[in-house]
Structures are given as structure tokens and as C-alpha cells.
Amino acid sequence: MLDKIGIAKRIAQEIKNNYYVNLGIGIPTLVANYIPEGINVVLQSENGLLGMGPFPIEGEEDPDLINAGKQTITTLPGSSIFDSAMSFGMIRSQKVDLTILGAMEVSENGDIANWKIPGKMVKGMGGAMDLVASAKNIIVAMQHVNKAGESKLLPQCSLPLTGVKCVKKIVTELAVLEIATDGGFRLLERAPGVTIDEIKKATAGKLIIEGDIPEMKI
């Protein structure tokens, strides 16, 4: 199985040259450290930054430079800082090519729940609703099962939704999957050493398996 860094490394392979990419809180923020060499990409943070770099070296952090998750970050030459109105204008006008988000649950038709567990205090949905409503392409970085061992890839989400029929692809510690046009999780790759049976047991939603499933290359 992959750890969080492994998931981030695999998702980084989905980034294409000249993409504008938004990284959500959690595992997605790690992707900034693993952009493939030779790829020109501009990372956007919805709190008002274009040109986000990798995480700073310990001891070199600037507390005035943070991402949407309040983590200290770096900027790259040519980066730009602006207000939230400008940032969300970029998002809502579909200027962002790829959004990478964490999730608590994803349904087999591409619904995502990633902002609230009923009964627990949260500050709000943040920018997630705008991102899932506007992004051209959404990839989810998540654990396949929760702490109780229950699947997070479901026929239907049980938690409050963030967006409907918006997720295109999911990368977990076990597998890479895409949402099929007619519903279901189509298995594309399996993590090194992970069997098809392990993925079946961890997936509560409809799992589509076609032909031989290759191992991920990290």
C-alpha cells in the first residue's frame, strides 16, 4: 500500500505541462513537492496566490506566506499575490485546469463529501464548493477506508455533499480509479503489492474491472 507521500507522487503524474492547478488541504498539498521535472505548472491557492512553490526548508519559513490550509509555503519567481475576490474569480471562470482535493467519501457516480461530519464543529465549506462546481478536472486524493476499516468509496455518500457528479479520478493507498460514464469505479491501476481481491474488499461501491490491471509506477 502507498503512504500519503506515495499518493501525492502518483497524483503528480497527472499534471500536464502549462496546467493551472489548485491543491486542496491535506494530502493534495504534498503534490507541490513532486511535480515532475520539465513540467511547467502554476499552483494556485484560493487564499490569493499564483505561483506556489514546494514547502519551505525547516528554519526558512515565512509566516506571512501560507496556503489555504494555513501551512507555510514558498513562492516561485513570477508569483502573484492578490485578494480572495480575484482568486475566486479565477476559479469560478474556470481558469483552473485541475483541482486536487481530499475527501471523506466519494460515490460511484462522482459525488464528493469532504467538508462536514454532522455533530462536529467546522468553520465552513471554505473554497471546496466553488472548486468542485467550477473545475474542469477533479482528482481526489484519499484513504480507501476510514479508521474503522469501512470503505469510503460508496454507492451513495452518507455525509453532506460538497459537489454532485464532479469527480473524475481517485487515487488511494490501494488503487487508481476513475468514475465511469454510466457510474461505478473503474479500476485503472493497483498499488505495488496490492491484489485485486484487497481492492474489492475495500470498495463498497460498484467496482469495474476490465482486463489485466497494472501496478502503479511511482
Task: Pull the grid cell for residue 195.
Answer: 491484489
Asked if residue 121 has pLDDT above 90, the reply is no
Asked if residue 125 has pLDDT above 90, the reply is no
Q: How confident is the model at residue 173 (pLDDT cuts 50, 70, 90)?
A: very high
Angle, CA of 69, 13 and 201, to the nearest 5°: 80
Residue 110 bridge partners (DSSP): none
Task: Pull the grid cell for residue 55.
Answer: 514547502
Comparison of pLDDT for 18 and 70, the residue scoring more: 18
**Across 32-60, average pLDDT:** 91
The predicted pLDDT at position 118 comes to 87
Q: Kindly report the pTM of this predicted structure.
A: 0.93
Q: Per residue in 64-120, pLDDT tens?
A: 999 888 899 999 999 999 999 999 999 999 999 999 999 999 999 999 999 998 888
The predicted pLDDT at position 18 comes to 95
The predicted pLDDT at position 128 comes to 87
**Across 150-170, average pLDDT:** 97
Task: Pull the grid cell for residue 59.
Answer: 528554519
Is 46 known to be catalytic? yes
**Across 149-172, average pLDDT:** 97
DSSP letter, residue 23: E
Catalytic residue among 14, 46, 173, 210: 46
